[in-house]
Structure 1
Amino acid sequence: MRRPRVFWQTAATTLAVVALLVSSSAMAVSGVVIDATTRLPVAEAIVTTASGTILTGRDGSFTVERPETSIAARSPGYLRTRAAVTGDEPVTLVLTPFRPKAVYLSVYGVTSPSLREAAVNLRDTTSINALVIDVKGDRGLTPYPSEAREAIGANAQIKTRAPFARDLSAILAELHRKNFYLIGRIVVFKDDPLADAHPGWAVHDAAGHPWRDREKLQWMDPFSHDVWKHNLDVAEEAARLGFDEIQFDYVRFPDASGLQFALPNTRANRTAAIVGFLKAARERLAPYNVFVAADIFGYVCWNLDDTAIGQDIQTLGSALDYISPMLYPSGFTWGLPGCTKPVDDPGQIVRRSLAEAQRRTGLPGVRFRPWLQAFRDYAFDHREFNAEAIRAQTQAADAASTDGWMLWNPRNRYDASQLPR
């Protein structure tokens, strides 16, 4: 009686193993990520599937142990891409090298046909090939009807409304057709309307009153996970709208003393909060295969602490695709060693700051994309930043092998004759 039972148990086990192997083979999807120009493999590219993200090996290869209908990939220094999965054939994802050279459009700029068209026309005669567009600006305004802002009650607190683009996704699609790389800028912890809607989430002064900065605007507590969640809701909206990259600005603590937060205001707590938020953003946005970036103060490239705002450059690399230091010479009010008047030598500020950032982080130049100054000086002699000053900055960034650069002008006005060609 034992023989037949052992025989059937063994047969059943064998059949189960065979079925599992066949099923696993049918489910697995393999492939490789390569450079469109060199046709060489791209190591450590981020491959996005329905089940999550993985990194390619040194040979650019990857394997996904479950069925997929399409697979996406991205890597710093390239455009993102997507490919369909067909049968059992290996998938080849081809990444096109690209360096964004961008100008900034505010909420007002992107919704103004004249300002938007002027920025678009720069592509005809200059090297501009990208736009940074406000998704949530400095005063908490969005250029589209945001469901996330409506649901949290922030829209009801806005006193001066910017004009909406009723179909921002259509505008973005048109800009993509014109071959623009699109970066969605989200101001995170400076958010006056959200503070009015949820005072308990805001920063308070020593007396427990709502704290306001020099512009009389309120800030949100970076320790608040409710604030995190709301900004991630907005970021997900931006990803669905069609942006190639989500860039977080004001992702820091306010630079003021004597303020009250939900946790003790220590360096360890601050840096943990900022990196924690950015890692949460990277995880939330993973299904969309968008790049994730954050803006930092220029002096963060140099300071050995967190500059008392939670930005420690040595902790940011793991959470981001791109680090974007704001290297405005006017922002270096204390200068640098051997350079007491930065506006006299703007290229030096950019060159030395990027070199210092790379040295301290061990990251290659392609992981940085700096903000550069295209506006009048406010700290030294109030000079206009002309073609020579702008090009000195862009050339320094290019020489550092950065992932391009971005020009900031709060009025969204850019003179094509002053920009690199």
Structure 2
Amino acid sequence: MVDSTQEENAPASGTEKRPSSWLSKSLLAAAALVLVVGGVWLLHLSSGWGVKIAGIGEHPVTPSAVSDGAIQVRGESVNHLRAYVDGRPVSVHVGQGHAEIRPEDLADGRHELRISVPSVIPLLGDRSFTEQFTVDGTAPQLATEKSLSSESFDAPVTVSGTAEGAARVTVAGNPVPLDKSGKFTTSMQQPPATIPVVASDRAGNRTAVDVTVNVTHPGMRAVHMTGHAWTSDQLREPVLQMAREGKIDTVELDIKDESGEIPYDSQVPLANKIGADKGYYDARKVIDKLHSMGVRVVGRLVAFKDPILAEASWQSGHRERVVQTAGGGAYNGGYGNFSFTNFANPAVRQYNIDIAAEAAALGFDDILYDYVRRPDGNIDSMRFAGLESAPGESIASFLQQTRERIREHDTFLGACVFGITVTRPESVGQNIPMMAEHLDYVAPMIYPSHWGPGEYGVANPNREPYKIVHRSLQDWREAVRGTNTQVFPWLQDFSLGVAYGPEEVKAQITASRDNGIDSFLLWSPACRYTTAALSARP
């Protein structure tokens, strides 16, 4: 018989533990779910916090910098990000570990960049980041004198001006202080021929001005001598006598002539290699002798009419150094084969600059370029390998290179130019205002015999030397106005169609003086000069 009381009071197996076990499992499951969801949410958040935007901040940026990829996004989520500027989608260029945002044509002012980063769980949506930035494409306004005048090579010069909108100004690479109104001033001891002045703002916009430093030339009353003429007693002694009598104060002597020969004892390696160095005279001895007499010495350097360099270059495969025809042959143009070298070629330019620098170091007071031009004639019939600008610009930059180099030796730079280029600058690539920025003087060849009938209203210029010289020099003075560059004309001391004697030569000198120009150079192909046309300085 079973005891009913005991049966009722006896607990069923396991009934007391069931509620506790179920609750524990439920709580564990809920906790796990919270951890998973929280982890996913944190992962969603962290995918955004891992993104970093670079390239924009407290400083403005230029439009070009922005379009070139200055704004970069770095992080693990950049592969699928989207970018918007001012609400409009912009292109994104993805690289390794970063993306570049490249909006185009942004106007100056404030802009908003929004980056949308995809979530690892699509249901949670994308994460967006917004940053403000400023675009500034306006360069500072830099105002300074482009040409300064100095009394000597050793005298200091003062560079001053204003730089509106600039955060920084450098003069010759050195920072100078700006006051609150944007003004700056600095003094330079022994300045170079060209002083670069650069104004920049916080965005990186720059405005640059090259300030040329002109040292006042003492002037000259000169005659021309070839290298061969100087070695001739019959031609040299009359010139020295003119100097003793005070009728001239300068001798202009060839240091590279129209044939490409270098008549002095040059040590320029390329000159020796191509056989241009002839050593007809000892440069130091000539200079020392003339300087002991109080006579200045100008080295005439024929630049781009150079048959020796041209032919050597052509034969050695450097045809880019030679002016070519439209068909690719060596340009003749009536000057002879291999007559003109290419003024745009770096090797040709360097060769001439090296000769100029060597002559300056030897003691020549001036370097006077001749044939610093392209050949005359139709430019469409010529090819200049490597020319990336107008001929006039290229030639002016060549003069700037030369001037900077020879200024180290306190040497002046001049250039012989065609008389007609004052009104026809592209006839041979001689843009006078451009050239004048990098010259101490221009020497226009205004020989009366070289003008056509009716020029400057003169019916027969060759028979009216005073009129043609006087009238043409008025244009020349105007062409260099404001540059501190002087005009020293070449005058005619030879007969061509009309016999020239003391009166004709003297008429040209008087015409120059009546224009306020007391300097001149006389040209005689035979190097024989009309002494009676000259008088000693008072």
- TM-score computed with the length of structure 2 as normaliser: 0.58
Q: Secondary structure at the match of 2:443?
A: strand
Cα deviation per residue 1:349-400 (whole Å; 9 max; x = unaligned)?
A: 22111111222332489711000000112xxxx1221111101111111222
Q: Does 1:373 align with 2:492?
A: yes
Partner AA of 1:64 in structure 2: Q
Q: How does 1:68-107 map to 2 (within 5 A)?
A: 75-78=215-218, 99-107=219-227
C-alpha change, 1:365 and 1:191, in structure 2 (3 Å) is same
Aligned to 1:84: none
Structure with more of its chain in strand, by fraction: 2
Aligned to 1:235: 356
Aligned to 2:125: none
Aligned to 1:224: 345
Tell me how far apart the structure 1 counterparts of residues 455 and 190 of structure 2 sit (CA, whole Å).
Answer: 52
1:56 positional shift: 5.2
Equivalent residue for 2:508, pick from 376, 393, 396: 393
CA contact (8 A) 1:222 1:253 kept: yes
1:340 positional shift: 2.2
Q: Any unmatched runs of 5+ in structure 1?
A: 1-42, 67-72, 79-98
Q: Secondary structure at the match of 1:251?
A: coil
Q: Does 1:135 align with 2:255?
A: yes
Aligned to 2:242: 122
Superposition RMSD in Å: 2.7
1:227 positional shift: 0.6
CA contact (8 A) 1:187 1:249 kept: yes
Tell me how far apart the structure 1 counterparts of residues 353 and 511 of structure 2 sit (CA, whole Å).
Answer: 34
1:213 positional shift: 4.0
Equivalent residue for 1:178, pick from 293, 299, 321: 293
Cα deviation per residue 1:44-100 (whole Å; 9 max; x = unaligned)?
A: 206646xxx963589xx955399xxxxxx983243xxxxxxxxxxxxxxxxxxxx31
Partner AA of 2:283 in structure 1: L
C-alpha change, 1:224 and 1:301, in structure 2 (3 Å) is same
C-alpha change, 1:349 and 1:369, in structure 2 (3 Å) is same
Greater Rg over alpha carbons, structure: 2
Q: Does 1:269 align with 2:393?
A: no
C-alpha change, 1:176 and 1:355, in structure 2 (3 Å) is same
Tell me how far apart the structure 2 counterparts of residues 403 and 384 of structure 1 sit (CA, whole Å).
Answer: 25
Q: How does 1:321-400 map to 2 (within 5 A)?
A: 321-363=440-482, 367-377=486-496, 382-400=497-515
Q: Does 1:410 align with 2:525?
A: yes
Cα deviation per residue 1:288-316 (whole Å; 9 max; x = unaligned)?
A: 1111100110011233xx23321112212
CA contact (8 A) 2:488 2:521 kept: yes
Cα deviation per residue 1:262-295 (whole Å; 9 max; x = unaligned)?
A: 1469xx5211111010000011111111111001
Taking only the aligned residue pairs, the percentage that are identical comes to 29
CA contact (8 A) 2:392 2:426 kept: no
Aligned to 1:310: 429
Aligned to 1:55: 157
Tell me how far apart the structure 1 counterparts of residues 490 and 484 of structure 2 sit (CA, whole Å).
Answer: 14
Tell me how far apart the structure 2 counterparts of residues 103 and 47 of structure 1 sit (CA, whole Å).
Answer: 25
Tell me how far apart the structure 1 counterparts of residues 505 and 235 of structure 2 sit (CA, whole Å).
Answer: 20
CA contact (8 A) 1:366 1:401 kept: no
Tell me how far apart the structure 2 counterparts of residues 219 and 314 of structure 1 sit (CA, whole Å).
Answer: 24
CA contact (8 A) 1:294 1:323 kept: yes
Aligned to 2:365: 244
CA contact (8 A) 1:365 1:400 kept: no
Structure 1 stretches of 4+ moved >3 Å = 46-49, 61-66, 149-152, 363-366
- TM-score computed with the length of structure 1 as normaliser: 0.73
Tell me how far apart the structure 2 counterparts of residues 366 and 225 of structure 1 sit (CA, whole Å).
Answer: 26
CA contact (8 A) 1:107 1:141 kept: no
Structure with more of its chain in helix, by fraction: 1
Q: How does 1:294-309 map to 2 (within 5 A)?
A: 294-303=415-424, 306-309=425-428
Q: Secondary structure at the match of 1:407?
A: strand
Q: Any unmatched runs of 5+ in structure 2?
A: 1-147, 161-185, 192-212
Q: Secondary structure at the match of 1:324?
A: strand
Q: How many residues align?
A: 335
- Larger RCO (CA within 8 A; separation ≥ 6): 1
Equivalent residue for 1:64, pick from 177, 181, 189: 189
CA contact (8 A) 2:416 2:443 kept: yes
Partner AA of 1:255 in structure 2: D
Pick which of 141-150 and 271-280 moved more.
Answer: 141-150
Cα deviation per residue 1:200-219 (whole Å; 9 max; x = unaligned)?
A: 20111122111224242510
Q: How does 1:151-230 map to 2 (within 5 A)?
A: 151=271, 153-155=273-275, 164-165=280-281, 167-199=282-314, 200=319, 201-216=321-336, 218-230=339-351
